[in-house]
Structure 1
Amino acid sequence: MSPGIPEDVAQAIVAAGRRLDQRNWVPATAGNISIRLPEGRVAITRSGFHKGQLSADALMVVDLDGRPEQPGLRPSAETLLHCGAYRRFPEAGAVLHGHSIANTVLSRAVGDHITLARYELLKAFPGLATHEAEVVLPVFDNDQDIARLQAAVEARWDSMKEIPPGYVLRGHGIYVWGRDMDSALIRMEALEFMLECEFHERSAR
Structure 2
Amino acid sequence: MPDAIPEAAVAAVIEAGRRMAERNWVPATAGNISVRLPGNRVAITRSGFHKAHLTADAVMAVDLQGVPEDGALRPSAETGLHCGVYRAFPAARAVVHGHSVANTVLSRRAGETIRLEGYELLKAFPGLDTHAAAVAVPVLDNDQDITRLQAAVEARWARMADPVVPGYLIRGHGVYVWGPDMDAALARLEGLEFMLACKMAAISLGGSDP
TM range (shorter): over 0.9
In 2, Cα distance between equivalents of 1:161 and 1:126: 13
**What secondary structure sits across from 2:193 in the alignment?**
helix
**What secondary structure sits across from 2:83 in the alignment?**
helix
In 1, Cα distance between equivalents of 2:29 and 2:126: 31
Aligned to 1:48: 48
Task: Map 1:157-196; keep pairs closer than 5 Å.
Answer: 157-163=157-163, 164-196=165-197
Structure 1: state its 5+ residue gaps.
none
Q: CA RMSD in A?
A: 0.9
**Paired amino acid for 1:202:** I
In 1, Cα distance between equivalents of 2:124 and 2:75: 31
Task: Map 1:38-187; keep pairs closer than 5 Å.
Answer: 38-163=38-163, 164-187=165-188
TM-superposed CA distance for 1:8, in Å, is 1.1
TM-superposed CA distance for 1:109, in Å, is 0.8
TM-superposed CA distance for 1:3, in Å, is 4.7
**What secondary structure sits across from 1:132 in the alignment?**
coil
User: Could you report, residue by residue, the CA deviation over 1:89-109 in whole angstroms, capped at 9, with x for unpaired residues?
Assistant: 000000000000000000011
In 2, Cα distance between equivalents of 1:14 and 1:100: 19
TM-superposed CA distance for 1:170, in Å, is 0.5
In 1, Cα distance between equivalents of 2:66 and 2:166: 22
In 2, Cα distance between equivalents of 1:49 and 1:19: 15
In 1, Cα distance between equivalents of 2:159 and 2:60: 33
TM-superposed CA distance for 1:162, in Å, is 3.8
In 2, Cα distance between equivalents of 1:74 and 1:162: 32
In 1, Cα distance between equivalents of 2:171 and 2:54: 26
TM-superposed CA distance for 1:112, in Å, is 1.0
In 2, Cα distance between equivalents of 1:11 and 1:3: 17
TM-superposed CA distance for 1:161, in Å, is 2.5
In 2, Cα distance between equivalents of 1:188 and 1:132: 20
- TM-score, length-normalised on structure 2? 0.95
In 2, Cα distance between equivalents of 1:38 and 1:162: 24
In 2, Cα distance between equivalents of 1:204 and 1:120: 20
In 2, Cα distance between equivalents of 1:104 and 1:154: 21
In 2, Cα distance between equivalents of 1:203 and 1:3: 51
In 2, Cα distance between equivalents of 1:165 and 1:56: 27
**What secondary structure sits across from 2:90 in the alignment?**
coil
In 1, Cα distance between equivalents of 2:162 and 2:119: 18
**Paired amino acid for 1:160:** M
**What secondary structure sits across from 2:138 in the alignment?**
strand
